[in-house]
Amino acid sequence: MRSVERRTWYIITNSVLGLWMLAAIAAVTAHRFLPHSTWLMVHVTMLGAVSTAILIWSQHFADTLTRRQAPGGRVSLGIRLGLHTLGAALVIAGILSDVMSVILAGAVIVAAAALTHATTMILQLRGALASRFGPLVQFYAVSALWLVVGVGIGFWMSQLSADDPLRGRLFVAHVAVNLLGWVGTTVLGTVILFWPTVLHARMRPTDGSRSPLVLTVSMFGIVVVLAGAAADAPPLVAAGAVLWLAALGLVLVEGVRQITDAARLSYAGLSIGAALCWLAVSVGFLAVGVGTSDGWATAVDRLAWIVQPFIAGFAVQIVLGALSYLLPVIMGRPNARKKCEAELDRAAVFRAATINIGIVAYLLPVPSVVKVLLSIVVLCVFIAFLVLAVRGVVVGLRERKAEPAPAADAQGVQLGVGAPPQKAKPRRALSGQLVTAASVILLAVAGGIAIDPSAAGINTLGGTEVAETGHTTTIDVSVDGMRFVPDVLEVPAGDRLVVELSNTGTDVHDITFANGVSSERLAPGDSETVDVGVISEDMQGWCSVTGHRAMGMELSVVAVGAAAEGAHDHGDAQDSDAGGAAADLDFTLSTDAGFVPYDAALDPAPAADVHEITMPVTETEVEVAPGVTQTLWMFDGTAPGPVLRGSVGDVFDVTLVNNGTMGHSIDFHAGTLAPDDPMRTIMPGESLEYTFTATRAGIWMYHCSTMPMSSHIANGMFGAVIIDPPDLAPVDHEFVMVQSEFYLGEEGGPVDPDAVATQLPDIVAFNGYANQYRDVPLEVKAGDTVRFWVLDAGPNVSTSFHVVGGQFHTVWKEGDYSLKDGGSTGVGGSQALALAPAQGGFVELTFPEAGNYSFVSHIMSDAEKGATGIVHVTE
């Protein structure tokens, strides 16, 4: 590796950091669909990106401060970096797959890399010449040892159940050791010299003289935190955090003075300065939050507050700020450095202000939608750094090639030595960037409030007057999955409604009413009394946590005895603006609706080898979701049409009778024949004979092929033909699931063809009705083997059929087995059956124990539009 040029080495090693950053962005973007989402976002960022940056740059700073290369040189660093990357990846993979051996292997490898790093720092420091700032390398050695301790505590914690009383104490210790010990100690040692370097501030003889005291106090503070956790004493944890905060204060005192001597304003300086402020805020909240808690469970809940400010405010900003200074420096030559620096300093004030104002706004008690929009804004600004970094390196390298080599090319970062300061930007430009940043954040806040005004405390009702009765109606409301129970609250008009909300679910929830009254966000097991106010008219209530309402967390407040006029006009003013027709749908069945779902149970194939079927076409207004009706065009009065079943070699003689008001036709994929005559369109009152022989096995689609075909399929004209493969084994239960899409037109009217063309359905359903098997589950017994036949009727959207809590031991798709009885190993399994429109297959699984097993399209936004159900398994 010695032959690799220094700047090339930096670019290669920092590409690993870039990959971790991309992984963190992906985790944040897709967190709603990922297991252990909060843990994943934290650890991809901290254990992945931030720790990688520490390994790379602490070694470089150690080389610079000791004026000698570390034992093993780049080879040693490459091995440590590779080990840490592998170990971190294994820890993450082990947690996601819940495989303890993988978690243990990853933890051991990460600890080994950290221990090697600490040893390297110690050896390098012992052989170094005396220098003023050389002892700062001690911070890096100590911080790596803290990582070994933090990893050990983390693995210990992973062995405990969620309700183990020791888990809370270990969690606090794990957070403190990793954040204050590994990351915080590294930062303390670095900023003592790096901060004035970034600012191009003059170094004074006393600068850095307190570093031994800083290291001692910070170490003692973490030891006290650990002692507090071990002794079951939260106030002692708080005392340790205060000690650590005092060590940070010693560094910040000098840092504030150095700001006054700063020669230029750069993104690096702004970002690092803001990061140090967030670090102080986070440690302060750690001290107050844990010290005043009435138990470890409360302390853990309070520590959740510091996740965003510590990671986004401190950790990410400290890394981006450091890289904004370091990447230009490694260009070496002056012009190349300036070009790279100019790229990374683009809109510096705007970027820094947007990030930090956005984080402050996020931490305020704003609605969930506002938090989502603020997160998107801040994330986009973070992503902009990656774009600018790539541009800066490319521009710098290009300029370097064109720039004559000086007598002595720069060999790296010279701490304490700044480049000649650039001319400061005019104050008008800087204030303009500040105003723009504030405007962007205000726009995000205003947009979120406009989307969900009730969650912001704004009354969206019409203000109907009613005489107050002086009575109070109290109703207990609990949570079942993604539903409120009950979901209809009947209250005499004029009564005051009080809701006793208990979060009996497994996620954080709240309840928001259209009159602007909201509860706090409740963790699982928490409860709150919500005074909704005097009920004068019907209104809606919902969970305002982003995405939960779309998944069915709504309820209705019915004002019994209120005037009928306009009673349903004011439910939720946001619906018409918040996502089209789908936002208006209530996908929850009323308990007294008497609803009968489409019969998903399959009978065996008839013994006869000739099947005579008459299929009348009808056009009827039917319900496709609770309270949502459409005029569907159907085969034999159902959508999907009747399921036909037979064996290879069977003959199907179908008579199509058009009892509709327009031309229709039928196309059976299960047969092979020239389509000219049997698939022709027939007019109202006409009929045709369609005969085909089933020569191949499969679950085949049939549908109307009259143009526009997409609209005819989307309006209900589809069904399934099942031709059994010859070796089909018997099972205890067979069900059929035909997924289709609805593109809603006017209430009670037919499909909206313009909406079909967008390929963005309002409803995605199994067997023609949104969520019907969630509200009326399928019934089987534990130990039963169940076969699901699945067909994607489209017309536009694919499916990925998945059973939550289940694993498929047999998968048969489009005419062949991809897995049978566990495959060649006997223990193989499958988690999803992916199908494009007009494809089909079946999966088999056995439910091991009683419970409720959801089945969904794992294209999760479609599951949230109605493609979900439940298998209720009894003993």
- Domain stops at, among 536, 560, 578: 578
Q: What is the 3-state secondary structure (H, E, C) of 408-463?
A: CCCCCCCCCCCCCCCCCCCHHHHHHHHHHHHHHHHHHHHHHHHHCCHHHCCCCCCC
* Single-letter amino acid, residue 188: L
Range of the domain at 776: 610-874
Phi, psi at 443, each rounded to 5°: -65, -40
* Single-letter amino acid, residue 470: G
Q: Is the peptide bond before 640 cis (omega within 30 degrees of 0)?
A: yes
Residue 519 lies in a domain: yes
- Domain stops at, among 578, 600, 631: 578
Q: What pLDDT score does 587 carry?
A: 54
Compute CA distances 126 → 71, 143, 188, whole Å: 11, 17, 21
Residue 859 lies in a domain: yes
Q: What pLDDT score does 808 carry?
A: 96
pLDDT tens digits for range 415-465: 554 444 555 555 556 778 888 888 888 888 888 778 777 667 777 776 667
Lowest pLDDT segment from 10-14, 18-22, 722-726: 10-14
What is the DSSP secondary-structure string of 462-497? --------S-EEEEEEEEETTEEESSEEEEETTPEE
Most confident option among 363-377, 455-469, 589-603, 615-629: 615-629
- Domain stops at, among 527, 554, 578: 578
Q: What pLDDT score does 591 carry?
A: 41
Residues 537 and 675 in one domain: no
Q: What pLDDT score does 873 carry?
A: 93
> How would you list the strands of the sheet with 778-781, edge to edge?
778-781, 868-874, 851-857, 799-803, 833-835
pLDDT tens digits for range 822-872: 888 889 999 999 999 999 999 999 999 998 899 999 998 899 899 999 999
| Pairing status of strand 733-742 against strand 785-794 | parallel
Residues 680 and 803 in one domain: yes
User: Where is 673: in which H helix or E strand?
Assistant: none
Structural domain count, the chain: 2
Contact predicate 747/840, CB 8 Å = no
Residues 521 and 630 in one domain: no
Compute CA distances 502 → 146, 477, 615, whole Å: 41, 6, 50
Residues 552 and 630 in one domain: no
Q: Domain with 470 in it: what CATH number? A: 2.60.40.420
Going by C-alpha positions, the residue among 575, 577, 561, 570 that lies closest to residue 463 is: 570
Contact predicate 713/722, CB 8 Å = no
Residues 678 and 809 in one domain: yes
Q: In which residue are the tokens 């970027």 written?
A: 351
Lowest pLDDT segment from 42-56, 451-465, 514-528, 726-740: 451-465
Number of residues in the chain = 875
564 pLDDT higher than 50:
no
Residue 258 lies in a domain: no
Residues 469 and 541 in one domain: yes
Mean pLDDT of 573-594: 44
Lowest pLDDT segment from 487-496, 588-597, 753-762, 835-844: 588-597
pLDDT tens digits for range 103-115: 999 999 999 999 9
Classified as helix, coil or strand, 537 is coil
Lowest pLDDT segment from 325-339, 401-415, 483-497: 401-415
pTM above 0.85, yes or no: no
Q: How far apart are CA 125 and CA 212, in angstroms?
A: 15
Residue 112 lies in a domain: no
Residues 627 and 692 in one domain: yes
Residue 162 burial (CB < 10 Å; 0-12/13-18/19+)? exposed
Residues 474 and 550 in one domain: yes
Residue 681 lies in a domain: yes
Contact predicate 623/769, CB 8 Å = yes
Would residue 389 be called left, alpha or beta, if left means φ above 0 and alpha means ψ between -120 and 50 degrees? alpha
Residue 61 lies in a domain: no
Residue 829 lies in a domain: yes
Residues 621 and 568 in one domain: no
Using 50, 70 and 90 to split pLDDT, how confident is the model at 563? Answer: low
Lowest pLDDT segment from 137-146, 157-166, 763-772, 809-818: 157-166
Mean pLDDT of 470-494: 89
Query: 735 forms bridges with which residues in the sheet?
Result: 601, 788
Q: What pLDDT score does 425 carry?
A: 53
Q: Interior CA angle at 500 toward 496 and 504, to 5°?
A: 155
Residues 663 and 567 in one domain: no
Q: In which residue are the tokens 């003692």 written?
A: 220
Q: How far apart are CA 554 and CA 482, in angstroms?
A: 9
Classified as helix, coil or strand, 641 is coil
Residues 554 and 617 in one domain: no
Q: How confident is the prediction for the chain on average, in pLDDT?
A: 85
Q: What pLDDT score does 545 carry?
A: 80
Residue 81 lies in a domain: no
Residues 622 and 559 in one domain: no
Using 50, 70 and 90 to split pLDDT, how confident is the model at 266? Answer: confident
Q: In which residue are the tokens 């092979």 written?
A: 672
Most confident option among 477-486, 731-740, 822-831: 731-740
Q: How far apart are the first and last CA of the chain?
A: 64
